[in-house]
């Protein structure tokens, strides 16, 4: 299978990184400049689409229409377009390339580079052979879930943007760790172990206990954890995070207009 990337920024490179060791695959990208990536590059979309079976739209939402306008005159009948473009529906792409072209809308996150993404997908043609091949490839990149397209805005807010939200919490913890007088590298190592330990604790117990009960197991009455949690609850952390998700979801909906 031949993969062609239109756009080769952070997400394009992450998807390539996750796929590159799969057997029987080759890769190329289209760019106005040579990015020195070590893979084939083409100067225009016509050349790229002639090469590729799978066309990845790894571009910013504001650039999508410009790219689709160029693709409009190219025969893509035997290709599949995979679009991780936030907030842009399959129908937007169909308006330019036609409904006879197989389109797969996905929403991964940057952990796709390490085969640890949580990726949603939907398509306009489940029977297409190339779609089935794309789905198999997505399954090598982490957890995959099929979703109705109407749920993509919320999924994007939680799982596409979620890593940045969680890293923001890690940064707050790291800011306090610096007061321990340890090196930056050691602080990172300690944070990593904290997160791995917490994830392991959750993973091993989540089928028997709710998250609330797991928190209760960690919390001693009158202890330090209870004091911190009481402050979080007093300041409505759950409502704050709900608003964070809602704002991200709202932005995704705005992009589609």
Q: What secondary structure does DSSP assign to 13-59, as a single string? A: HHHHHHHTTSTT-EEEEE-SS----SSEEESSHHHHHHH-SEEEE-S
Residues sharing a CB contact under 8 Å with residue 114, sequence separation 6 or more, in sequence order: 17, 18
| Class in CATH terms, 2-153 | alpha beta
Rounded Cα distance between 41 and 232, Å, is 50
**So what's the pLDDT on residue 68?**
96
Question: Do the two domains 2-153 and 160-255 of this chain adopt the same fold?
Answer: no
> If you average pLDDT over residues 135-151, what whole number do you get?
96
Residue 27's φ and ψ, nearest 5 degrees, are: -140, 150
pLDDT (tens digit, 9 = 90+) per residue, 215-252? 999 999 999 999 999 999 999 999 999 999 999 999 99
Average pLDDT for residues 100-115, to the nearest whole number? 96
Return the structure tokens found at 189.
């190592």
Residue reference for tokens 């640890």: 116
Give the integer Cα–Cα distance in Å for 169 and 40. Answer: 39
The structure tokens listed for 80 are 């599949």
pLDDT(187) > 70:
yes
Query: What mean pLDDT is predicted for residues 53-73?
Result: 95
What does pTM read for this prediction? Answer: 0.90
Query: What are the angstrom distances between the C-alpha of 204 and each of 17, 141, 159, 192, 232?
Result: 30, 23, 21, 18, 26
Domain parsing of the chain, residue ranges: 2-153, 160-255
- Residue 15 CB partners (closer than 8 Å, separation 6+): 5, 56, 58, 84, 108, 112, 113, 141
Say what the pLDDT of residue 34 is: 63
The CATH label, of 3.40.50.970, 1.10.3730.10, 3.40.50.1470, 3.40.50.300, for the domain at 160-255 is: 1.10.3730.10
**Run of H or E residues at 146:** strand 142-146
Tell me how many degrees the CA angle 122-123-124 measures, rounded to the nearest 5. 145
- Summarised one tens digit per residue, pLDDT across range 121-141 is 999 999 888 899 999 999 999
Q: Is the pLDDT at 33 greater than 70, yes or no?
A: no
């Amino acid at each position: 299978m031949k993969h062609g990337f239109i756009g080769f920024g952070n997400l394009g490179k992450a998807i390539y990184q996750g796929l590159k060791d799969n057997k029987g695959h080759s890769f190329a990208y289209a760019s106005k400049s040579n990015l020195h990536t070590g893979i084939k590059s083409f100067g225009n979309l016509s050349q790229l689409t002639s090469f590729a079976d799978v066309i990845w739209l790894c571009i910013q939402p504001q650039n999508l229409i410009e790219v689709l306008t160029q693709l409009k005159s190219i025969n893509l009948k035997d290709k599949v377009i995979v679009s991780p473009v936030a907030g842009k529906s399959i129908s937007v792409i169909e308006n330019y390339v036609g409904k006879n072209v197989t389109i797969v809308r996905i929403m991964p996150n940057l952990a796709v580079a390490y085969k640890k993404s949580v990726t949603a997908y939907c398509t306009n043609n489940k029977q297409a052979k190339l779609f089935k091949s794309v789905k198999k490839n997505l399954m090598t990149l982490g957890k995959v879930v099929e979703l109705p397209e109407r749920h993509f805005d919320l999924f994007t807010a939680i799982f596409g943007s979620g890593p940045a939200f969680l890293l923001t919490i890690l940064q707050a913890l790291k800011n306090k760790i610096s007061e321990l007088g340890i090196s930056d590298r050691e602080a990172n190592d300690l944070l990593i172990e904290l997160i791995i330990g917490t994830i392991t604790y959750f993973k091993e117990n989540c089928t028997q206990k709710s998250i609330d009960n797991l928190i209760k197991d960690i919390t001693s009455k009158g202890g330090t954890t209870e004091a911190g949690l009481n402050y979080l609850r007093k300041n409505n952390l759950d409502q704050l995070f709900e608003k964070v998700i809602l704002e991200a979801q709202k932005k995704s909906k705005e992009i589609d207009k």
